[in-house]
Structure 1
Amino acid sequence: MAHMHDPLWIAALAAVMAITGLVSGTLAGLLGVGGGIVIVPVLFNVFPLLDIPAEIQMKLAVATSLATIIPTSIQSARKHHARGAMDVPLLKSMIPSLIVGVLIGTVIAVWVKGTVLTAIFAVIALLVAINMAVTGVDSRLRESFPTGPLRQVLGAFIGGISAMMGIGGGTVGVPLMNLFGTPIRSAVATASAFGIVIAIPATIGFIWAGWGNPLLPPLSLGYVNLIGFALIVPSSMIATPWGVHLAHTIPPLMLKRAFAVFLGITAIRMIWSLVG
């Protein structure tokens, strides 16, 4: 892969990563979603333009996204906890099952082909998009979050799916908690801490699994590209306030529908790429 060591190619990769951070940060602030649900699709679409081998495109996107979630989740969780919005008892009770789910999801993700990861991302993204398109701002199935085994099953599901998709706990966790009676602000705050629990072990797993892979671009630690990590994190933090500012000028339901459209289009493009 000699072309990936060309200085111009590395500069192009760096530019793509910085732009990805700006896009994900803006949409995260605007739509209230974790950056991973934006980062993975953007990288999935631009990696082919950089001639990154198809075999590693999705794993590289997922792993790099997971690495960026670690610092952003820590920052977000600290802010939410300081405001008292986080449901700490619920978080503590779900940590063991989240970790179990992450470990299972990471093992699956590193052993299956990239096309399987793409299919998983596309299907879950499409389901989330449909849910956001047809439900209200605060729709719910019941008034309280389940306890006992069902709570642990939900935690393992959130952890496993998030690890395989390269996302924090928000994309899957917030809709589930909201449906089961957790107020939306508390769900968002609690899910911000899910991101820490999910991203750290999953990132370690992807680093181990990709170690020494000759197809990887330069400055990669396993499947985590360090150029992406170094540029996406600061650029997304710079851009998030831009999205927050825009969010205060647009009705919440319109924001929810806009994100549903974005996610639906992303999922359909991924499915089309697999079928095609």
Structure 2
Amino acid sequence: MDWSLILILLAMGAAGGFAAGLLGIGGGMVLVPFITMIYTAQHFPPEAVVHMAIATSLATIMFTSLSSVRAHHAHGAVVWPIVRMLTPGIVAGSWVGPWLGKQLNTTALALVFAAFVAFSATQMLSGKKPAGARELPQAPGMFAAGGAIGVVSGVVGAGGGFMSIPFMTWCNVKIHQAVATSAALGFPIALSGTLSNIWFGWDQPGLPPYSLGYIYLPALAVIAAASVLAAPLGARAAHRMPVQTLKRIFAFILYALAGYMLWKAFH
């Protein structure tokens, strides 16, 4: 990679890491469209571009999550019992997600990604308040919820916050706790999904050198380095700034990224 590409990847990693710390979303929804642009410009196989962008994005979340959750934990905001109850379903779902993604061609995968990013943005803007008596479900319900979060995250390459945060706030978990807990959930999502992307992409023909399954290692290294440094900054900002205002701004960014992926699906 030349220096201009490295600088672009560093900027992307910093933006994704800050977003991950700020909103507990793992940064994947920010990174995937931009990584797709870069891989397209590098003339990666068209049939594998979106798959590789999603896999690389998901792998970076392993590093971003660990960095982000340390900062959130220092504020006492991570609800670890929720993490323990959701993780088994998340691990199972995150393994299945990349397999489902492999069954989709680039057009279908880009459409799925655009739909879920737009859905996430709409959720952020809706501001709906949960019923006062609603609580988190028992273990079977938490396993099912974790499985759904894991499957979708594995398909679209995100840290799951676009589903786990609305789910937790719907069950009356405070927003700062939901953001912090979602950051912690990003690690099992990313670890299981990364191993799955390596496994299911191992025999994919035509991938560029230095690929590990669907993961492009040079991009992973650069993005992860920047995101690890930026994630704690986002986490600290999340505890100091009005989250609802930031969510509105971020929602419009997500709509723009969804629009790009929708365009990508048909070009």
- Shared fold per TM-score greater than 0.5: yes
Match of 2:138 in 1: 147
Q: CA-atom RMSD, angstroms?
A: 2.5
CA–CA separation in structure 2 for the residues paired with 1:96 and 1:147: 14
- Residue correspondence of structure 1 range 13-24 to structure 2 within 5 A: 13-24=5-16
Match of 1:205 in 2: 196
| Aligned 8 A contact 1:174 1:188 in 2 | yes
Match for 2:214: what amino acid? Answer: Y
Unaligned runs of 5+ in 1: 1-8
Deviations 1:86-129 (A, max 9, x none): 22222222222112212221221233223222122111111111
> How many correspondences in the alignment?
266
Computing the radius of gyration over CA atoms, which structure comes out larger, 1 or 2? 1
Deviation of 1:275 after TM superposition, in Å, equals: 4.0
Deviations 1:152-176 (A, max 9, x none): 2211111111111111132221121
Match for 1:76: what amino acid? Answer: S
Unaligned runs of 5+ in 2: none
Instruction: Kindly indicate whether residue 164 of structure 2 is the aligned counterpart of residue 173 of structure 1.
Output: yes
Instruction: Kindly indicate whether residue 242 of structure 2 is the aligned counterpart of residue 271 of structure 1.
Output: no
CA–CA separation in structure 1 for the residues paired with 2:214 and 2:110: 16
TM-score, with structure 2 as normaliser: 0.87
Deviation of 1:260 after TM superposition, in Å, equals: 0.8
TM-score, with structure 1 as normaliser: 0.85
Deviations 1:231-273 (A, max 9, x none): 0011123344665687789643221111110111211222233
| Aligned 8 A contact 1:132 1:260 in 2 | yes
Indicate the SS of the match to 1:145.
Answer: coil
Match of 2:113 in 1: 121
Instruction: Kindly indicate whether residue 16 of structure 2 is the aligned counterpart of residue 48 of structure 1.
Output: no
Match for 2:265: what amino acid? Answer: L
CA–CA separation in structure 2 for the residues paired with 1:34 and 1:169: 7
Residue 70 of structure 1, aligned match among 62, 66, 77: 62
| Aligned 8 A contact 2:20 2:183 in 1 | no
Instruction: Kindly indicate whether residue 229 of structure 2 is the aligned counterpart of residue 253 of structure 1.
Output: no
Deviation of 1:223 after TM superposition, in Å, equals: 0.9
